[in-house]
Structure 1
Amino acid sequence: MGFFIDVILPIPLEKTFTYKISPTEANFLKPGMRVAVPFGKSKIYTALVLKIHTSEPQVYEAKDIHQILDEVAVVTHAQLELWQWIASYYLCTLGDVMRAALPSAFILESETIVQKNNRIEIKDSELEDDEFLVYEALHHQSSLTIHEIASIIERKNALPVIKRLLDKQLITVQEELYEKYTPKLVRYVKLHVEYTGEEALQKLLDELDRAPKQKEVILTLFSISASTKKPVKVSYLSEKSQASSAIIKALIDKGILEEYYIQQDRVDYGGLAKTRDKSLNTHQEQALNNINDAFEKEQVALLHGVTSSGKTEVYVKLIEDALAKGKQVLYLLPEIALTTQLVNRLQGYFGEQVSVYHSRYSVNERVEVWYNMLNQSTKAQIILGARSSVFLPFHDLGLIIVD
């Protein structure tokens, strides 16, 4: 009995596609995980697993997957159901929904890599000018991407030149997946375990008498570590000890210091002082009570108020109630209304529970918000975002505010 998966491809085709997997892969894979799959003659796409089964396709031979990209699902069951509803209601394909819903960093695409064919020799005089420029560049670099070739010659000529070089068998091409998301790694440093004992540390300091700047770095590191009980950033150590990066590198090279990296969110709550809850005035109290009464009968309530009429304070009370019940909150606004002032105001009330998701943030920042939600982090209890935030992996959404 063979195992197969049905996958969604990020292309506008009506149907899903079936690929062959091994029994081990079948035990590991779950709906919502990403796999890299071959499609067509040479392309590799990121596909999303929709279903795992044992029914072999009848009209074509299923290909093997290229590789598994995730250890856990990046799309939840509820999201997949939403995607299918959207595709049906709006008469679009699941691939269209996938491309709209996922941060672009999740949709890895294959990059055409061009390499020199060392088995074929040719005289420079036999090459046209554009061909010569590309071929010469491959003498100095082992491979080039299409984008890099387009920067060497005119962009419109890149593909025709590559085709001509292929016809002359002077180059080879292959497809390689490239990852768009790169975690932000912060560099830290610590004293090597060999010098953590009192006697060893004193001996080290004596030896560094001839290198006073290096000694100052060690003393500063020891002082920071003792007072904060936290990992020490290289940048902070450099600032406090007034040492250059070369001095710290010398200590690392000698094995006195050890460097290591910790992944850090790009979007970080700045630790603003928490805003005291404001008491609602009579009109705001009445609006809040009317909304709560409406929620007893319906799932939707409409609050009308002109700009600066105090609606945000009412929203804050509703958000507090939702959080107290262990629910998540989605606060939707147009992109133009997503101002730093509003973000700071909400973070003033709720601290790092507020995450922001919109196009002005980088792809990497949006991926981190997505992962925080998947992991049910406290940083993702309130999402302040534009319309694309409806696609985020909410686990227990209790309140939606459309402002």
Structure 2
Amino acid sequence: MTSAPQSSRNEAAPQYAQVAVAVHLTKTYTYRLTAAMQKAARAGSRVIVQLGRKPTTGYIVALLPHLRTGTSLIESEIKDVQELLDVDPPLVPEVLEISRWVADYYAAPWGEVMRAALPAGINAAVEQTVSITPRGREELQSEPPAVAGGPDPASARNRALRLLADEGEFEVNAFCLRLGASKTPKWLREMEQEGSIERSYRTRATPTRAKRRKAVRMVKVSADGYAGVPPAQRTKQAGRLRTQTEAQKRLIETLRANGEEMAVSDLIKTAKVSESAIATLLKRGVIEAFEAEVRRDPLALAKLPDTEVFKLTKAQAAALQAIEKQASEQKFATMLLHGVTGSGKTEVYIRAMRDALKMGQGAMMLVPEIALTPILSRRLRAHFGDQIAIFHSSPQRGLYWARVRPCLRRSKTWR
């Protein structure tokens, strides 16, 4: 296995970055880091680089203090990195290493493998934008207002400048549609050459957002029992607290019995109160509202099977011992566990995974058929509890990535 290049982090600050781009090209490219990027850039960070005439997303795989001796690159022709998208790299060294191995083993472009390794929600795309320049504003002031639907290019130019001046920057395709054109008109390119408008690029990301829901919690009270109430109003507040309804009392008791904070929907159901009781206590300052992040757990309501302790057969024990030997040596190896249906292969997998976790490593079980996912995920949850996460094409994949990422830093090797 070819190991991933290591960053040069000597006294000299890195001047260049080796970048793998997510296109069907197997080579990496060298780009110059700007002064501001030299301190922040890390191997595994995403960047925006110019490839040909189009900006694209790339991934830093190595940092270089200088160009290699004997290189054919001409320093003056090396392009700058346009934008650094990450200070905290999403591709940790272990992911860089396994992605490089996958690229070598399957003869696939390294950049495409790294893009596939990240959740779609955090991969940035690049879009082209158009905006008006100071020269364009001067031109707009010197010309009469455009006639709606005017057929001549001059009228279209005027409408284009007016639209940009009134509404600001546009994505190019959306701008053309507003002008009634299915593609970029020739006169728009001429305006760019004349300096009336300018086209630029910006990153567009569709981050996976955590689900949130309304919740309330008890307000921390002072030593005298008042929740930040001014002294002049404490008598009135004390009277309100004494006149709580039965529903309000149940609400407060339920909150105190559940760590003093609950989701509004759960509180209403558990305390058997209405939203008006919550609104009243919010107004009185007894409780406060906030938004709580909801952890999406597809197995939260699943009925888990009982975990049985089986005695391994001689063949199973021998297979497990062979796997453990390779794992303890921390060397890559491929092994085939052959057995008929019902022979106990999954039990061997589970025990091997448990041993890997004990050694501070990670484990991945790849399911060949999606129909097996519910059965195996329940069985793994029964054995490993909250340590497991399910990865597939769901938009929730980005949330799971954020959850298991610290584990990737902890793991020494991948299996």
Q: Which position in structure 2 is the counterpart of 1:10?
A: 22
Asked whether 1:190 is paired with 2:217, we answer yes
User: Following the alignment from structure 1 to structure 2, what is the Cα–Cα distance between the partners of residues 235 and 166?
Assistant: 55
CA distance in 1 between partners of 2:252 and 2:384 (Å): 35
Who is 1:353 aligned against? 387
Secondary structure, counterpart of 1:47 in structure 2: strand
Name the structure 2 match of 1:387. Answer: none
Q: Secondary structure, in 3 states, of the residue corresponding to 2:401?
A: helix
With over 3 angstroms needed to count, the CA separation of the structure-2 counterparts of 1:231 and 1:16, relative to structure 1, is farther
Q: What amino acid is aligned across from residue 289 of structure 1 in structure 2?
A: A
DSSP 3-state at the match of 1:11: coil
Higher strand share: 1
| Cα deviation, residue 194, structure 1 | 7.2
Do the aligned residues in 1 keep the contact of 2:34 with 2:81 (CA within 8 Å)? yes
By how many angstroms is 1:330 displaced? 1.4
Question: Matches of 1:68 and 1:249 in 2, distance apart?
Answer: 46
In 2 relative to 1, CA 150–393 (structure 1 residues): closer, same or farther, beyond 3 Å?
A: farther
Residue 391 of structure 2 corresponds to residue 370 of structure 1: no
1:6–1:204 Cα change, 3 Å: farther
Amino acid at match of 2:317: N
Q: Check whether the contact 1:185–1:261 (CA below 8 A) recurs between aligned residues.
A: no
1:312 to 346, 353, 356: 346
Distance 1:27-1:325 versus aligned 2 partners, 3 A rule = same
Amino acid at match of 1:186: R
Counterpart residue identity of residue 46, structure 2: R
Confirm or deny: 8 A CA contact 1:8 1:17 kept in the other structure: no
Rounded to whole Å, the distance in 2 between the matches of 1:397 and 1:74 is 17
Out of 258, 266, 270, the position equivalent to 2:296 is 266
Distance 2:163 2:246 in 1: 48
AA paired with 2:314? Q
Give the structure 1 partner of residue 375 of structure 2. Answer: 341
Query: Cα–Cα, structure 1 residues 160 and 195, in superposed 2: closer, same or farther, change >3 Å?
Result: farther
Output one character per residue of 1:35-56: Cα deviation in whole Å (capped at 9) or x when no partner: 3445555x54333222223326
* Cα separation, partners in 2 of 1:247 and 1:17, compared to 1, 3 Å: farther
Distance 1:18 1:301, change over 3 A: closer
Is it true that 1:331 corresponds to 2:342 in the alignment? no
Partner of 1:379: none
- Tell me the TM-score normalised to structure 2 length: 0.68
Q: Any conservation in 2 of the 1:276–1:349 contact (CA below 8 Å)? A: no
CA distance in 2, matches of 1:84, 1:109: 22
User: Any stretches of 5+ residues in structure 2 without a counterpart?
Assistant: 1-11, 68-72, 327-332
When the two chains are superposed, the root-mean-square deviation of aligned CA atoms in Å is 4.5
Contact 1:35 1:66 in 2 (8 A): yes
**Aligned mates of 1:140, 1:205 — CA distance in 2:** 56
Q: CA offsets, 1:196-220, max 9 Å, x none?
A: 962458844745999x9xx788656
| d(CA) in 2 for partners of 1:221, 1:142 | 50
State the Cα deviation string for residues 167-223 of structure 1 (Å, max 9, x = none). Answer: 56797654322222233142433355578962458844745999x9xx788656533
1:126 CA drift (Å): 1.0
Amino acid corresponding to residue 226 of structure 1 in structure 2: R
Partner AA of 2:320 in structure 1: N
Q: Quick one: distance in 2 between partners of 1:307 and 1:186?
A: 43
> For 1:320 and 1:27, how far apart are their aligned partners in 2?
40
Q: 2:39 aligns with which of 27, 41, 54?
A: 27
Mapped partners of 1:15, 1:303: distance in 2: 37
CA drift of 1:12 comes to: 3.0
1:98–1:328 CA distance, 2 compared to 1 (3 A): closer
Cα drift, residue 280 of structure 1: 2.6
Q: 2:96 aligns with which of 80, 87, 97?
A: 80
Paired position in structure 2 for 1:53: 64
Deviates more, 1:195-204 or 1:49-58: 195-204
Structure 2 residue matching 1:358: 3-state secondary structure: coil
Per-residue CA deviation, residues 120-172 of structure 1 (Å, 9 max, x unaligned), is 442113159xx89x979989965654676798899xx63346x6556567976
| 3-state secondary structure, aligned to 1:356 | coil
Query: C-alpha separation between the residues in 1 aligned to 2:324 and 2:343?
Result: 25
Report the Cα distance in structure 1 between the residues aligned to 2:183 and 2:246, rounded to whole angstroms: 57
**Worse-superposed segment, 139-148 or 47-56:** 139-148
In structure 2, do the counterparts of structure 1 residues 333 and 65 end up closer, same or farther at CA, with 3 Å as the change threshold? Answer: same
The correspondence for 1:175, drawn from 189, 192, 201, is: 201
Shift in CA distance, 143/289, structure 1 to aligned 2, threshold 3 Å: same
Match of 1:318, SS? helix
Distance 2:256 2:376 in 1: 39
Counterpart for residue 277 of structure 1:
307
Q: Secondary structure at the match of 1:28?
A: coil
Give the alignment partner of residue 355 of structure 2, picking from 318, 321, 331. 321
CA contact (8 A) 1:274 1:351 kept: no
Offset of residue 356 of structure 1: 1.0
Q: Is the 8 A contact 2:94 2:413 kept in 1?
A: no
% of aligned pairs identical?
Answer: 25
Please give the per-residue CA displacement for 1:307-339, whole angstroms capped at 9, x wherever unaligned: 344433343333333333333221112243443
Change (3 A) 1:262 1:199: closer
SS in 1 for 2:60: strand
Asked if 2 retains the 8 angstrom alpha-carbon contact of 1:6 and 1:19, the reply is no
Output the amino acid matched with 1:51: A
Change (3 A) 1:110 1:220: farther
